[in-house]
Amino acid sequence: MKDKTTRDLIVEAADQLFYQQGYEHTSFANIADAVKISRGNFYYHFKTKDEILDAVIAARLVNTQKMLDQWEVEGQEPIDRIRCFIRILIANQTKIMSYGCPVGTLCNELAKLNHASKDQASMLFTLFRNWLGGQFSLLGCNTEADAMAMHLLARSQGVATLANAFHDEIFIQQEVQQMCDWVELCKERASPKVV
């Protein structure tokens, strides 16, 4: 269970490099160097570059789902769980300022390439969307739960894009605070405290 196969190592390295350099800009040589295997060996594990991309997306889907499951445990109330989501902007702020959001930037790139796997990449967003939608439902925002999930997802995406462009972590923190306030407000509107 502990030692990773070469295939796993390739996927892991590719995942990182695709994030940091972009899919197209990352060559087999780059990945091979990172894993410390020869380029030829590569093709034993993956026949094409597209196959690696698919494997990377699949791995991200699994890891994302795990993270969501984890938040389900960590956050007692729906509002706490939503805050877990918002706070990834803080937790990952250094990376975000350098490379943007891993999901958003990948979707952007694949859309421009009109790549066959672009819809698969969007599934990463769908995972967050559905999970957030579920939390907003639990919060009492039944009819608008999905719209609110999309709204929050969009705001966090925008923050990542601008934080990347301006390298501004104060901005991230301000916006995170505002998003938390907004969720709080949503909750109160959905089930007003009886005073």
Partner DNA sequence: GTCTATACCTGGATAGAC
Partner DNA sequence: GTCTATCCAGGTATAGAC
Tell the smallest beta-carbon distance from residue 166 to its own copies (Å).
Answer: 7
For the chain, where are the alpha helices, taking DSSP H only?
6-21, 28-35, 39-45, 49-74, 78-91, 93-99, 102-113, 118-139, 145-166, 169-190
113 binds DNA, rule: CB under 7 A: no
Residues 31 and 52 sit within 8 Å (Cβ to Cβ): yes
Residue 15 near its own copies by CB under 8 A: no
User: How far apart, in whole angstroms, are the C-alpha atoms of residue 115 and residue 183?
Assistant: 35
> Judged by CB, which is closer to its own copies: 11, or 175?
175
- Partner interacting with residue 91 (select from DNA, its own copies, none; CB below 5-8 Å by kind): none
The alpha carbon of 147 is separated from its chain's Cα centroid by a whole number of angstroms, namely 19
Q: Which partner in DNA, its own copies, none is near 191 (CB below 5 to 8 A by kind)?
A: none
47 to 66, contacts with DNA by CB under 7 A? 47-50
Q: Would you count residue 31 as binding its own copies (CB under 8 A)?
A: no
Q: Is 105 in the site for DNA (CB under 7 A)?
A: no
